[in-house]
């Protein structure tokens, strides 16, 4: 098995290395308002340069935070669709830099 580039961990202690969109959906779907209120996804590093989190809101829905210090990004949004959150986070994380991951090259051919 390859190295883990990032890790998702919920307040309840559930964790998944390099979670797929479906795995993120399941982690978010398991959140509740009492003892499992958030999940954090970040690189599996001692000093991660980016993170994202999803937290249950008291009034319903979720607060999604995305922060990338290397790109000076910090977004906070509210969302009600777990499907949309999982998809958006998967796309956002795919654009992050991971030390040791092969770089992707594009060609104009």
Calculate mean pLDDT across residues 11-37. 95
64 or 99, which is more confident:
64
The answer on pLDDT for 1 being more than 50 is no
Has residue 99 been placed in a domain?
no
The predicted-structure confidence for 54-88, as pLDDT tens digits, reads as follows: 999 999 999 999 999 989 999 999 999 999 999 99
Q: What is the DSSP letter of 72?
A: T
End-to-end CA, the chain: 33
Residue with tokens 């989190």: 53
The number of folded domains in the chain is 1
Predicted TM-score (pTM) of the model is: 0.84
Has residue 1 been placed in a domain?
no
Domain that holds residue 15: 6-94
Has residue 34 been placed in a domain?
yes
Is residue 98 very low, low, confident or very high in pLDDT (cuts 50, 70, 90)?
A: low
pLDDT of residue 46: 84
Has residue 107 been placed in a domain?
no
């Amino acid at each position: 098995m390859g190295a883990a580039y990032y890790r998702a961990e919920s307040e309840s202690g559930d964790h998944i290395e390099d979670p797929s969109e479906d795995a993120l959906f399941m982690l978010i779907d398991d959140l509740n308002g009492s003892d499992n209120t958030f999940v954090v996804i970040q690189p599996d590093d001692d000093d991660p340069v980016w993170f994202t989190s999803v937290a249950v809101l008291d009034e319903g829905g979720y607060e999604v935070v995305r922060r990338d210090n290397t790109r000076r990004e910090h977004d906070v949004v509210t969302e009600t669709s777990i499907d949309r959150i999982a998809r958006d986070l998967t796309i956002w994380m795919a654009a992050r830099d991971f030390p040791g991951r092969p770089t992707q090259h594009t060609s104009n051919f």
